[in-house]
């Protein structure tokens, strides 16, 4: 396969995965900025609002546009890396970082992060705390393992020195003079 084609295929795949993972960060952020974020405990003020306005109509287009921007930026940045091993390493770091941000936002939006920061172990576990712990076990563990695996493999690929090319005489023999 042509090296230029390989470069763009590898960069495009990592760009698509990073853009997909950043969707979990972009949608809640844009929703909060546009004022259409659903609050955990809506009050009487929220019942009076029948239609949130044109922000709901703009939200899908804005989020898809931002995700496409992430895909394009990651693809172009990875395509500029000259060596394939380093390109894969930077791609692993980009996807691992996107999954880490996605996990943090997921925990913050669902309220589990607030529960973790305010938890008092002497009170005992209530139903909400038990469900939050179960949520962490089911979703947090795979996110964490995948994120750590991608970040560590990216660092290993970036830190490893390239192998030396073999000399003309073959392995174990010196090159002719």
**9 assigned to some structural domain:** yes
What does residue 50 show for φ and ψ, rounded to 5 degrees? -90, -35
Could you give the number of structural domains in the chain?
1
**68 assigned to some structural domain:** yes
**29 assigned to some structural domain:** yes
State the pLDDT at residue 79: 94
Taking each helix axis from N to C end, the angle separating 55-79 and 3-34, rounded to the nearest 10 degrees, works out to: 150
State the pLDDT at residue 136: 72
**18 assigned to some structural domain:** yes
Q: How does DSSP classify residue 162?
A: P
**152 assigned to some structural domain:** yes
Measured over the CA atoms of residue 143, residue 145, residue 148 and residue 154, the dihedral's sign is negative
**170 assigned to some structural domain:** no
Name which residue leads in pLDDT, 95 or 31.
95
Residue range(s) defining the domain that contains residue 93: 3-39+57-159
In this prediction, residues 26-30 reach a mean pLDDT of 85
State the pLDDT at residue 93: 95
Query: What percent of the chain has a predicted confidence (pLDDT) above 70?
Result: 67
State the pLDDT at residue 3: 86
Q: Per mean pLDDT, which range of 48-62, 66-80, 154-168 is the poorest?
A: 48-62
State the pLDDT at residue 162: 67
Name which residue leads in pLDDT, 105 or 48.
105
**121 assigned to some structural domain:** yes
**7 assigned to some structural domain:** yes
175 three-state secondary structure: coil
State the pLDDT at residue 89: 94
What does the alpha-carbon distance between residue 15 and residue 95 come to, in Å, rounded to a whole number? 8
CB atoms inside a 10 Å sphere around CB 87:
21
Q: Tell whether the model's pLDDT for residue 72 goes beyond 90.
A: yes
125-176 pLDDT, tens digit each:
566 666 767 777 787 788 889 999 999 999 999 997 766 665 555 555 555 5
Check if the beta carbon of residue 155 is closer than 8 Å to that of residue 122: no
Its pTM stands at: 0.73
CB atoms inside a 10 Å sphere around CB 5:
9
């Amino acid at each position: 396969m042509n090296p230029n084609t390989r470069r763009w295929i590898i960069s495009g795949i990592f760009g698509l995965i990073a853009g997909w993972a950043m969707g979990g960060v972009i949608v809640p952020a844009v929703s909060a900025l546009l004022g259409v974020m659903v609050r955990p405990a809506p009050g009487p003020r929220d019942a009076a609002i029948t239609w949130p306005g044109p922000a709901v109509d703009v939200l899908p287009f804005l989020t898809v546009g931002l995700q496409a921007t992430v895909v394009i930026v990651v693809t172009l940045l990875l395509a500029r890396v000259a060596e394939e091993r380093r390109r894969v390493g930077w791609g692993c770091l980009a996807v691992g970082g996107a999954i880490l941000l996605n996990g943090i936002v997921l925990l913050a939006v669902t309220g589990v992060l607030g529960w973790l920061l305010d938890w008092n172990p002497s009170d005992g576990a209530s139903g909400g705390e038990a469900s939050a712990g179960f949520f962490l076990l089911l979703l947090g563990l795979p996110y964490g393992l995948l994120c750590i695996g991608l970040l560590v493999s990216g660092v290993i690929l970036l830190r490893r020195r390239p192998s030396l090319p073999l000399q003309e005489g073959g392995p174990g023999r010196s090159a002719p003079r």
